[in-house]
Amino acid sequence: MNNNSMSVIVRTVTRFMYGLIILFGFYVIMHGHLTPGGGFQGGAVVASAFALLLVAFGSAGLKGQLNLHWLQSIEEFGALAFLGLAFLGIGTAFFYNLFANSGGFLFGASVPTGSNAGVLTAGGLVPLMNWAVGLKVMTGIAAVVIVMLVGSHKEETE
């Protein structure tokens, strides 16, 4: 066993669990306008799966799958998408929800009055902004953990 990865128990449990954790994180982001949680919480859950992979397999587990430049690009895309969506309704007001109740196109469904189970395709810009924040948070925190791992590794070899 090299110094970089952990024991076989940790690696086996990680292989079973990381897909489920990523799936749960995307579920939290996707249902952000209906259930507790949202972009930040779901992104943090997905990033914790990345952190689990990095701790269990070390920097050798990256294998070029999680490129730092790609992560930074996705993070910047998330921030710019959030700002762009906020500027879409600038004709009325900043953060004006342009797509709500627009009728079917993209999260434009109307919500019936009274108690209901929640409409997944309603909400207008809110689900899209949840996705933008989720992308930014998951890639940003994953980049922080990767820099922590790779940077400390470089210092050791010098």
Q: Which residues bind other proteins (CB under 8 A)?
A: 3, 28, 36-38, 40-41, 44-45, 47-48, 51-52, 54-55, 141, 144-145, 148-149, 152-153, 155-156
CB of 97 to other proteins, least distance (A): 20
Considering the complex, state which of residue 44 and residue 66 has its C-beta at the smaller distance from other proteins.
44
Place of tokens 């921030």: 79
Residue 158: strand, helix, or coil: coil
CB of 88 to other proteins, least distance (A): 26
| 21, 43 Cβ separation under 8 angstroms | no
| 76, 68 Cβ separation under 8 angstroms | no
Considering the complex, state which of residue 109 and residue 139 has its C-beta at the smaller distance from other proteins.
139
Considering the complex, state which of residue 7 and residue 92 has its C-beta at the smaller distance from other proteins.
7
Tokens found for residue 91: 């004709």
Considering the complex, state which of residue 109 and residue 143 has its C-beta at the smaller distance from other proteins.
143
Q: What SS3 string covers 65-119?
A: CCCHHHHHHHHHHHHHHHHHHHHCCCCCCCCCCCCCCCCCCCCCCCCCCCCCCCC
CB of 50 to other proteins, least distance (A): 9
CB of 134 to other proteins, least distance (A): 12
